[in-house]
Amino acid sequence: MTSRIGIDVGGTNTDAVVLDDGDRIVARAKRPTSPDVTEGLRQALTAVLDELGERAGEVRRVMLGTTHATNAILERRALGRVAAIRLGAPATTSIPPLTGWPADLRNAVAAGTALVRGGNFVDGRAIAPLDTDAIRRFLHGTPADAVAVTGVFSPAGDEQEKRVAEIVKEELGDTVTVSLSHEIGSLGLVERENATVLNAALYGVARDVTAALRQVLAERGLDVEPFFAQNDGTLMAVDYAARYPVLTIGSGPANSLRGAAFLSGVSDAIVADVGGTSTDLGVLVGGFPRESAAAVEIGGVTTNFRMPDILAIALGGGTVVGDGVGPRSVGYRITAEALAFGGRTPTMTDAAVAAGRGRVGTHPVAASEALARAVRIADEMVSDAVDRVALGKADRPLIAVGGGAFLLPARVPGASEVVRPGHADVANAVGAAIALASGRFDTIAPAGAGRSAAIERAKEEAAARAVAAGADPVKVEIVELAEVPLSYLPEPAVRVHVKAAGPLQQ
Amino acid sequence: MQASRFITLDDIAPLARGCAVLGTGGGGDVRSGALAAGRAIGEHGEVPLVTLSDLQPDALVVPLSGIGAPTVSHEMIHAAEEPGRIAEEIERIFGRPPTAIMSSEIGGGNGVAPVTWAASLGLPLLDADGMGRAFPEVQMVSMYVAGLPAGLLIMTDVVGNVTTIRPVDGLWAEQIARAVCVAAGSSALMADYVLTAEQARGAVIEGTVSRAMAIGRATEDAADPLGALVAELAATRLIGGKITDVDRRTTGGFVRGTVTVEGVGADRGRTLSLEIQNENLVALEDGLVRAMVPDLITVVDTQAATAVQTEGLRYGQRVTVLAWPCDPLWRTPAGLATAGPRAFGYDLDYIPVEDLS
């Protein structure tokens, strides 16, 4: 027998589960998330290993979904110094690199910026020949931990960015790591550049988490392979995650969606993850989270890498019932403050208990008009949110997961049924444990002749990236292919987005 | 020349919000423009905002706009030197430097970007524009409607090419400008109808920069942003509801579509359908027109009262559709011939929005 561990670091709790060969849950633990994240991770991991006892030796893999990267950016802590190079002059000079960044984040991250001649037009012509001398001079005058390279229209033509990676290697050897924007994000220069610079700043954080995880495993005498969860609900092998740490941001909601799919056996559904202060709603399409096209702001910086399309509403187990419902929550103090735990603050947990939806707590809760009204308001909030994320399709089930799943009613308008799988309170950790490895690729293709060939190339690139992330080359499949027509262009063109995924190589 | 006031860093966010509202669903994204404008003010200082009466009669006013594909200008951002090259060319042609910059199109990104251009040239911005809203084509400007000769178009691009066009009329101006823009990589900066302050009287739509800022300020920190916006615009609330269908068709490079909004709350039981191209053009209820171009129709988020662009419209959004009168210039026979419903392919006789409600 072999087994694997899934860990998800959440805002409140760090959850860990162990799955055996047959995908059965054989151990589970919930520990408070520590301010440094690593200690809570160690606690949760230690707890499941203790529970496994002698069978701990059967663990072969650890899959980790963590907030280390997000926290590092939000707290401006442990970030690397980045030399940011943009290839685009004489174009793009009206918005130089890192414009609009909060000053403290910019100070923490920027070793220097350069806007050199290079980049492409939309039709593939070069804006200017790559100014390799300027790049070499900049690299020597700008000591940094990492280099971020962003070329105009690089998602449609990556040669210049790759050339710069070679130059960095020629000049500085392997001492610094290079982030190339075409590997990080899609069209939208400023947003892609921001994501690329953040990625470069996170290399050290990725190394530290990997080292911490390996240390805990070594202390237990375990020789296992770590993987990191990324924001589309799939996994990355350690050396891949080391190159794309920014992709770990947003892995929590993605894990919870994937875990819900696995636990319920339903691959097309709406998922509601009910926590202490909020409920996250997302949509599963073919077992994967539906992604948002909107720009994502991280630590005050706008980025454009794809994230799960999540609608959060202020409704959770700790949400305070007053004249209305929320948005205030007692949060982790629920076990002291809620009526069901002998406290004095009426919460949504109490309202659900009074309505007979669950048996929670240590004290009985008397029914009241205020609590009954709160349940009606909350049900309305949920059905309204379900309708918003469902985009008009009312025939899919709603999978209820998270510690507060019992808050949800037995029937929700807009959903065919409400499914409540077992182990729903650790769905996120389960999601990390069962994930596939994936690769994504975004490009622009002509809409007429050449379209098919361009799409085939995009599929090959996505599949190659999935294999690099750890997928079995024989079992990789294209799981998503989207074409969006571009307006106002002389030659009709489409934006192509491809995603490939497959099980981890044995 | 005496400036009435200055555009400061604090004005950029309200200006961008207001320009998005005046974009009637089109005009391009305001975010890049706001980023560049904030930086330009930081580098070059605050931008004087002047009125026509602040200018000498022979002062040269330069209407500027970015043209091309929004996807391209979001990736291949403008060069900082572009406005300078246009100004040099104007001085070469007219024998004197330009006095003020004007936005050709206040709606959307082209309403915000002129702050950057004015700041980098050290010139004031004229509190006026050529549309009072957003329109998709080069000839759909007040200067064309007012009958000013389309004598001169100056274009420049990211690499530094400068193209001067002397078209025979506004329609040719559109065709040649498009071709130049494509050669330049589908993004260019264009000066169209360079005019004197004297010529500008009656040929530009005045007060639109302050109006955009006032619209943006009205919703800032308002307890009821939607109510504040409706009051500021003196708009007709066509419907408050939920988007239940977005049907998009791409024809000839332009995205056309129909958006259905079903009423909620006080509007329950009513349905509004909105005909969109790059902008929101016609609003219908029960087969009857409630508002039509050139009057302004904007879809806003019901909670935040922020404008939703046509490409951002999605099923399930809670929106309110607002309509309000366009500038009187668009209601003249020449204005309606240029940008009335028939100019967009709708076989409708124009009726002002205030007569339809």
For A117-130, how does the pLDDT look when each residue is reduced to its tens digit (9 = 90+)?
A: 999 998 889 999 99
Here the tokens at position A351 are 């309202």
Cα B239 from chain centroid?
24
Whether pLDDT at A11 is above 80: no
Among B30, B39, B16, B119, smallest CA distance to A97 is for: B39
Q: Which residue has the higher pLDDT, B294 or A495?
A: B294
Interface of A with B in 81-120 (CB under 8 A): 88-96, 99-100, 119
> What distance in Å separates the CA atoms of residue B35 and residue B80, rounded to the nearest whole number?
13
Mean pLDDT, range A40-66, rounded to an integer: 91
Q: What residues in B contact A485, CB-CB < 8 Å? A: 250, 255
Q: How confident is the model at residue A33 (pLDDT cuts 50, 70, 90)?
A: confident
Given an 8 Å threshold on Cβ–Cβ distance, is A489 in contact with B185? no
End-to-end CA distance of chain A: 14
> What distance in Å separates the CA atoms of residue B197 and residue B203, rounded to the nearest whole number?
10
Q: Specify the pLDDT at position B251.
A: 61
Whether pLDDT at A144 is above 70: yes
Q: What angle do CA A229, A234, A240 make, to 5 degrees?
A: 65
Given an 8 Å threshold on Cβ–Cβ distance, is A488 in contact with B31? no
Q: Specify the pLDDT at position A486.
A: 66
**Which strands, in side-by-side order, build the sheet including B236-251?**
B288-292, B280-285, B271-276, B254-263, B236-251, B318-324, B296-301
Here the tokens at position B261 are 């909004």
Q: Which residue has the higher pLDDT, B253 or B32?
A: B32
**B76 → closest Cβ in A122, A387, A489:** A122
**Dihedral of CA A96/A98/A101/A105: which sign?**
negative
3 state SS of A195: helix
Pairing of strands B100-103, B60-68: parallel
Given an 8 Å threshold on Cβ–Cβ distance, is B40 in contact with A94? yes
Q: A151-188 burial, b if ≥16 CB within 10 A, otherwise e?
A: bbbbbbbbebbebbbebbeebbeeebbbbbbbbbbbbb
Q: How confident is the model at residue A138 (pLDDT cuts 50, 70, 90)?
A: very high
Q: Specify the pLDDT at position B173.
A: 87
- Please, what is the average pLDDT of chain A? 90
Q: What percent of chain A shows pLDDT beyond 90?
A: 57
3 state SS of B26: coil
> What distance in Å separates the CA atoms of residue B107 and residue B65, rounded to the nearest whole number?
11
CA-based nearest distance B300→chain A, Å: 16
Q: What's the CATH number for B234-356?
A: 2.40.390.10
Please report which helix (H) or strand (E) contains residue A167, including its range.
helix A159-172
Here the tokens at position B21 are 């509202």
Whether pLDDT at A490 is above 90: no
Q: What residues in A contact B265, CB-CB < 8 Å? A: none
The ipTM, to two decimals, is: 0.89
Mean pLDDT, range A327-345, rounded to an integer: 89
Here the tokens at position A392 are 């008009």
**Dihedral of CA A381/A384/A386/A388: which sign?**
negative
Place of tokens 């949509």: A283
A485 close to B (CB below 8 A): yes
Highest average pLDDT, of A183-192, A422-431, B91-100, comes from B91-100
Place of tokens 């002129």: B114
> What distance in Å separates the CA atoms of residue B321 and residue B290, rounded to the nearest whole number?
11
Mean pLDDT, range B93-99, rounded to an integer: 97
- State how far the alpha carbon of A432 is from the alpha carbons of A18, A100, A232, B260, B280, in Å: 11, 35, 11, 40, 44
Map out the domains of chain A as residue ranges.
Answer: 3-72+206-249, 80-201, 311-430, 436-502
Report yes or no: A207 and A242 within 8 Å, Cβ to Cβ: yes
Q: Specify the pLDDT at position B1.
A: 62
CA-based nearest distance B355→chain A, Å: 35
B72 close to A (CB below 8 A): yes
Q: How confident is the model at residue B319 (pLDDT cuts 50, 70, 90)?
A: very high
Given an 8 Å threshold on Cβ–Cβ distance, is B32 in contact with A387? no
> What distance in Å separates the CA atoms of residue B350 and residue A468, rounded to the nearest whole number?
60
Q: Which residue has the higher pLDDT, A489 or B341?
A: B341
**B74 → closest Cβ in A96, A127, A187:** A187
Q: Which residue has the higher pLDDT, A487 or A434?
A: A434
DSSP string, A88-139: EETTTTTS-TTTT--HHHHHHHEEEEEEEE--B-TTS-BSS---HHHHHHHH
Here the tokens at position A89 are 């002059």
pLDDT single digits (tens) B54-94: 999 999 999 999 998 877 888 999 999 999 999 999 999 99
Where in the sequence of chain B do the CATH 2.40.390.10 domains occur? Answer: 234-356
pLDDT single digits (tens) B22-57: 999 988 889 889 999 999 999 999 999 999 999 999
Among A343, A361, A344, smallest CA distance to A352 is for: A361
Q: How confident is the model at residue A416 (pLDDT cuts 50, 70, 90)?
A: very high
Here the tokens at position A59 are 């663990």
Place of tokens 């202060």: A277
Q: Is the peptide bond before A327 cis (omega within 30 degrees of 0)?
A: yes
DSSP type of residue A367: -
- State how far the alpha carbon of A317 is from the alpha carbons of A230, A325, A329, A356, A377, in Å: 27, 11, 8, 15, 14
Question: According to DSSP H, which parts of A225-362 are helical?
Answer: 238-243, 251-264, 334-337, 348-354
Place of tokens 């409400």: A418
Q: What residues in A contact B36, CB-CB < 8 Å? A: 94-95, 99
Given an 8 Å threshold on Cβ–Cβ distance, is A487 in contact with B71? yes
The percent of chain B in helix, strand and coil, each rounded to the nearest 5, is: 35, 30, 35
Cα B67 from chain centroid?
12
CA-based nearest distance B198→chain A, Å: 32
Whether pLDDT at B299 is above 90: yes
Mean pLDDT, range A151-156, rounded to an integer: 92
Q: What residues in B contact A89, CB-CB < 8 Å? A: 79
Amino acid at A65: G
pLDDT single digits (tens) A254-273: 999 999 999 999 999 999 99
Given an 8 Å threshold on Cβ–Cβ distance, is B70 in contact with A488? yes
> What distance in Å separates the CA atoms of residue A160 and residue A109, rounded to the nearest whole number?
24
**Closest Cα in chain A to B41:** A94
Cβ partners under 8 Å of residue B19, min gap 6: B27, B30, B33, B106, B107, B108, B109, B111, B112, B212, B216
Radius of gyration of chain B (CA): 19
Question: According to DSSP H, which parts of A344-426 are helical?
Answer: 348-354, 369-390
Of the residues B12, B77, B174, B242, the best mutation for testing chain A's interface (the one with the most A CB atoms within 10 Å of its CB) is B77
Q: Is the peptide bond before A346 cis (omega within 30 degrees of 0)?
A: no
- Given the candidates 3.20.20.80, 3.40.640.10, 3.10.20.30, 3.30.420.40, the CATH classification of the domain at A3-72+206-249 is 3.30.420.40
Whether pLDDT at B221 is above 90: no
DSSP string, B306-349: -B--GGG--TT-EEEEEEE---GGGGSHHHHHHHSGGGGT----
Q: Specify the pLDDT at position A305.
A: 76
Cα maximum dimension of chain B: 63
3 state SS of A418: strand
Report yes or no: B157 and B188 within 8 Å, Cβ to Cβ: yes
**Dihedral of CA B229/B231/B236/B238: which sign?**
positive
pLDDT single digits (tens) B139-180: 899 999 999 987 899 999 999 999 999 999 878 888 999 899
Hey, which residues does B289 pair with through a beta bridge?
B284
User: What is the CB neighbour count within 10 angstroms for residue A143?
Assistant: 12
For helices B208-219 and B9-22, give the axis angle rounded to 10 degrees.
Answer: 100
CA-based nearest distance A124→chain B, Å: 9
Burial of A137 (0-12, 13-18, 19+ CB in 10 A): middle
Q: What residues in B contact A291, CB-CB < 8 Å? A: none
Q: Specify the pLDDT at position B92.
A: 97
**pTM of this structure:** 0.88
B69 close to A (CB below 8 A): yes
B182 close to A (CB below 8 A): yes
Cβ partners under 8 Å of residue A369, min gap 6: none
B252 close to A (CB below 8 A): no
- State how far the alpha carbon of A465 is from the alpha carbons of A236, A457, A460, A502, in Å: 10, 12, 9, 11
Q: Is the peptide bond before B328 cis (omega within 30 degrees of 0)?
A: no
Q: Specify the pLDDT at position A488.
A: 59
> What distance in Å separates the CA atoms of residue B206 and residue B199, rounded to the nearest whole number?
13
A492 close to B (CB below 8 A): yes
Whether pLDDT at B253 is above 60: no
> What distance in Å separates the CA atoms of residue A28 and residue A5, rounded to the nearest whole number?
9
Q: Specify the pLDDT at position A485.
A: 66
Report yes or no: B41 and B122 within 8 Å, Cβ to Cβ: no
The upper half-sphere exposure of residue B297, i.e. CA atoms within 13 Å in the direction of its Cβ, equals 28
A414 close to B (CB below 8 A): no
- Given the candidates 3.40.50.2030, 3.30.360.10, 3.40.1610.10, 3.30.70.1140, the CATH classification of the domain at B5-208 is 3.40.1610.10
> What distance in Å separates the CA atoms of residue A421 and residue A25, rounded to the nearest whole number?
13
Q: Specify the pLDDT at position A295.
A: 77
Size of interface A-B (CB pairs under 8 A): 121
Given an 8 Å threshold on Cβ–Cβ distance, is A488 in contact with B69? yes
CA-based nearest distance B302→chain A, Å: 14
Q: How confident is the model at residue B252 (pLDDT cuts 50, 70, 90)?
A: low
3 state SS of B158: coil
Among B264, B268, B321, smallest CA distance to B25 is for: B321
Phi, psi (deg, nearest 5) at residue A433: -70, -30
Of A137-151, A235-249, A477-491, least confident by mean pLDDT is A477-491
The domain defined by A80-201 carries CATH number 1.10.10: no
Q: Which residue has the higher pLDDT, A238 or B291?
A: B291
Whether pLDDT at A483 is above 80: no
**B72 → closest Cβ in A122, A390, A495:** A122
Whether pLDDT at A114 is above 60: yes
